[in-house]
Amino acid sequence: MLAVLMLEQTVQIVSNERDTDSYFRLVLRAPLIAPLIQPGQFAHVRVWPLKDALLRRPFSIFQVSGDTFSILYKTVGKGTDALARLGVGEELSVIAPLGHGFTVPERGGETPLLVAGGYGMAAMYLLAQRSPQRGIVFVGGRRRVDILCETEFRALGWDVRVTTEDGSHGEKGLVTEPLIAELRRKPPVPHRKVFACGPTGMLKAVGKIAEEYNVPAELSMDEHMCCGVGVCLTCVIPVKTGNGWEYQRTCTEGPVFEARQVEWEETR
């Protein structure tokens, strides 16, 4: 049994501001939750004004600061639309921190190569902040507005390599292109390890590339969730076992899995 220390709390909104386009940053005061948060974990948020949409919404945790933590979200449906309308001082119910996150490199250990698709970048900020070694972050998106928290990563002293599909910011192309270029570089960065968060298609590509270059990789898998705590078995992905594969929960065994564990043939 995984020892996850989680809490259900009613927390107050400290700020909830538009970042770019349809992206928002939500800061919550959660003094009991904030100190428990590990990189790659998520918060399960109940947006009360939703009325007939009952379920909580899971969000990766972006930053932790003192007694607050923040999330970076995109308005994509009624849950996030309702969330965007909430103001300072209003309350939300949060269950957090949840899930099995990224393995933070040890001092003198791996050099992290982070690969992010769009706001997947937010889920890796804590990892970058808590990693003793600075690394490289590869971030890709469709347009300039899809590239988020670049400033925050640069402020950590990280090498940020941006790609956009329309070429409006950074290099034109896919995030995997500069990643491959880096992995081909001679001599290679010592003890490289890939960490990725983004859409499933990107994760699959990153997983294959890491395998090809024989570099370990951890992937934060994105699946629809319902309970968030491991009982409903909605958010499962196929994971290799000794003699086949089984469905494991992205909310509990994940969201972060080793890339070589994922049975891509059985993913949809």
Interface with another protein (CB under 8 A): 1, 4-8, 46, 52-56, 93, 95, 223-224, 226-227, 229-237, 246-247, 252, 268
Min dist. Cβ of residue 71 to another protein (A): 18
Amino acid at 18: R
Nearer CB in complex with another protein: 86/174:
86
Q: Report whether the peptide linkage leading into residue 97 is cis, meaning its omega lies within 30 degrees of zero.
A: yes
Q: How far apart are the first and last CA of the chain?
A: 28
Q: Which is nearer to another protein, 107 or 224 (CB)?
A: 224
225: left (phi > 0), else alpha (psi -120 to 50), else beta? beta
Min separation Cβ 55 and another protein, Å:
5
Cβ proximity to another protein: between 46 and 169 the closer is: 46
The nearest distance, CB 8 to another protein, in angstroms, is 5
Closer residue to another protein in complex, CB, 71/179: 71
Task: Assess contact for 25 and 19: CB atoms under 8 A.
Answer: yes
Least Cβ distance, residue 237 to another protein (angstroms): 8
- Give the C-alpha separation, 183 to 125, whole Å: 22
Report residue 107 as tokens. Answer: 């001092």
Interhelix angle 176-184/200-212, nearest 10 degrees: 10
